[in-house]
Amino acid sequence: MSVWLVQMFNSLSVSSILLLIALGLAITFGLMNVINMAHGELIMIGAYTAYVMQNLFADYLPASWFGAYFAVAIPAAFCVSFLVGLALEAGLIRFLYGRPLDSLLATWGVGMVLQQLARTIFGAPNVGVKSPEWLNGGLSLGGSVLPYKRLFIIGLVIVTLIAMYLYIYRSAAGRRMRAVMQNRQMAACLGISTRRVDAMTFAIGSGIAGVAGCALSLIGPIGPSLGTYYIVDAFMVVVLGGVGKLLGTVAGALGMGVFNTYFEFWTNASLGKVLVFACIVAFLQWKPQGLVAMRTRSLD
């Protein structure tokens, strides 16, 4: 019983990380039809922001304050990635609307440059982020220990998700965003600046990637190519969940996380991945549009 509980917890933990990464992707893809391959590098930027924050706190502030650095690092990571995303959209992405495959390749190029930049600034080897004292240890539950770090990440994802929900479905900016998503031309005719909505959405997606990077710095060392391997799984979440709806992404991430963990538990890491891939391809036979699809009459 306890094994099952731990596995369930692990799969929740994996899902939460996947969700955090896939959220931004799903929104930019759903809204602008842009595939952002540099998303992984935005995650990396977030992680390095946490690293820089840690060093700043250690160097310039009294030791007793050190534990607070992580609370500062999360909003800082959001802001840095947000700004990078804004610059990226203004300088590159807006030339690529309506060319999703080209956007994929161009952003891959951006990713290469950003990775190399990180390598030049921080060096090629991985660096460690020392997690604050209050996140060490774990919660004992029925004979098994649930690490605080993982619980913290799950909590962080829930908070992010609620914030996203409020922004998209309960705010004026979110309403404009959904309008553009549903019918770009009509929204533009009604006076919505689609340019500004695009820029804002892309930047927010990037900011969330930064938060994800912060979270990843809790569970392992970080390096320039941190994002590359998460990004493929995150894209699978998007494909599985369907684009344009938060619910789809949540369901996709949960599905990926649960299947991944249990398959890996029953077989081994590499076979588990194969099985998950086979399941996704099989699932797409049934629902090629993903779990939750936006209904549309257009034949694209």
Binding site for another protein (CB under 8 A): 29, 33, 35, 92, 95-96, 98-102, 104-106, 108-113, 115-116, 119-120, 228-229, 232, 235-236, 238-239, 268-271, 273-274, 277, 280-282, 284-285, 288, 299-300
Which amino acid is present at 46? G
The residue among 97 and 148 lying less far from another protein, judged by its C-beta, is 97
> How many whole angstroms separate alpha carbon 193 and alpha carbon 106?
25
- Rounded to a whole number of angstroms, the minimum distance from the CB of residue 111 to another protein is 8
**144: which strand partners?**
141
Which amino acid is present at 272? G
- Rounded to a whole number of angstroms, the minimum distance from the CB of residue 99 to another protein is 6
- Rounded to a whole number of angstroms, the minimum distance from the CB of residue 151 to another protein is 28
What is the helix (H) or strand (E) element at residue 140, kind and residue range? Answer: strand 138-141
The residue among 178 and 273 lying less far from another protein, judged by its C-beta, is 273
- Rounded to a whole number of angstroms, the minimum distance from the CB of residue 163 to another protein is 27
Kindly report the length of the chain.
Answer: 300
The residue among 169 and 266 lying less far from another protein, judged by its C-beta, is 266
The residue among 197 and 280 lying less far from another protein, judged by its C-beta, is 280
Report yes or no: 42 and 209 within 8 Å, Cβ to Cβ.
yes
- Rounded to a whole number of angstroms, the minimum distance from the CB of residue 49 to another protein is 21
Cα-flanking dihedrals φ and ψ of residue 267, to 5°?
-110, -110
Report yes or no: 123 and 224 within 8 Å, Cβ to Cβ.
no
User: Which of 236, 204, 190 minimizes the C-alpha distance to 22?
Assistant: 236
The residue among 135 and 275 lying less far from another protein, judged by its C-beta, is 275
